[in-house]
A and B are shown apart, each in its own frame.
Chain A
Amino acid sequence: AQSVTQPDARVTVSEGASLQLRCKYSYFGTPYLFWYVQYPRQGLQLLLKYYPGDPVVQGVNGFEAEFSKSNSSFHLRKASVHWSDWAVYFCAVTRTGGYKVVFGSGTRLLVSP
């Protein structure tokens, strides 16, 4: 069964610093991978998604992620964090032709001034 691990429950970054949020997936085959963000008191919104192809995908607000089949990873990156990025970030996976999306436990990003 597919699964997603986000090893960091909480990450604190200074405003303007770079960011990497880690995601490891477990799946036999070619996965479809996603990063969703949940701002306070809101539902989840898509940041970016990976479909088989270019391993580096660009998302909204300067976010990008890189798919690595050898490392079973899909880490999220941003060059310069803004205070408005304060949120919970979820990595998710589904299989080719599938419908059920499995989410990781989430990483809470705190931005310090």
Chain B
Amino acid sequence: NAGVIQTPRHKVTGKGQEATLWCEPISGHSAVFWYRQTIVQGLEFLTYFRNQAPIDDSGMPKERFSAQMPNQSHSTLKIQSTQPQDSAVYLCASSLTGGQNTLYFGAGTRLSVL
């Protein structure tokens, strides 16, 4: 069991460019979460999938952020027209069935927008 895998570990984009972040959850886990971590805001919930279906995207900035889970083995977080304020560590986590179970986090993708 390799745990939750996130790629890339680091991504640098110019302002206005697109960034796509990848997450491979633990096999057999039906719940996938995306969080954003910054020094100022801490850990912010972005979105949640259950059995690949989007359940809650209330934490996603509406206009430029989107997340998908096309199959049970990976999820993507796409940020269009990146801005400096998008610079953060994006964490993906999976669990057996939801938040009451242990969340297993990936190591994160550090996004730097220049």
Binding site for B on A (CB under 8 A): 32, 36, 41-46, 49, 51, 90, 94, 96-106
Instruction: Say what secondary structure dominates the interface of chain B.
Output: strand
Q: A98-B98, A102-B45, A103-B42 are in contact. Are A44 and B55 (CB under 8 A)?
A: no
Chain A's nearest CB lies how many Å from the CB of B24?
Answer: 13
Q: A99-B50, A99-B56, A104-B42 are in contact. Are A46 and B107 (CB under 8 A)?
A: no
Least CB separation from B45: chain A residue: A100
Chain B's nearest CB lies how many Å from the CB of A95?
Answer: 8
- Residue of B50, B102, B103 with most partner-chain A CB within 10 A: B103
User: How large, as a class, is the contact surface on chain B?
Assistant: 20 to 34
A43 to B4, CA, bound (A): 9
A104 to B37, CA, bound (A): 12
Q: Specify which chain B residues have a CB less than 8 angstroms from the CB of A43 in the assembled complex.
A: 4, 91, 93, 105-108
A51 to B42, CA, bound (A): 24
Q: Specify which chain B residues have a CB less than 8 angstroms from the CB of A41 in the assembled complex.
A: 107
Q: Can you name 13 extra interface pairs (CB under 8 A) apart from A46-B103, A101-B33, A105-B42? A: A32-B100, A42-B107, A43-B91, A43-B108, A46-B102, A90-B43, A98-B99, A99-B99, A99-B100, A100-B48, A103-B35, A103-B43, A104-B42
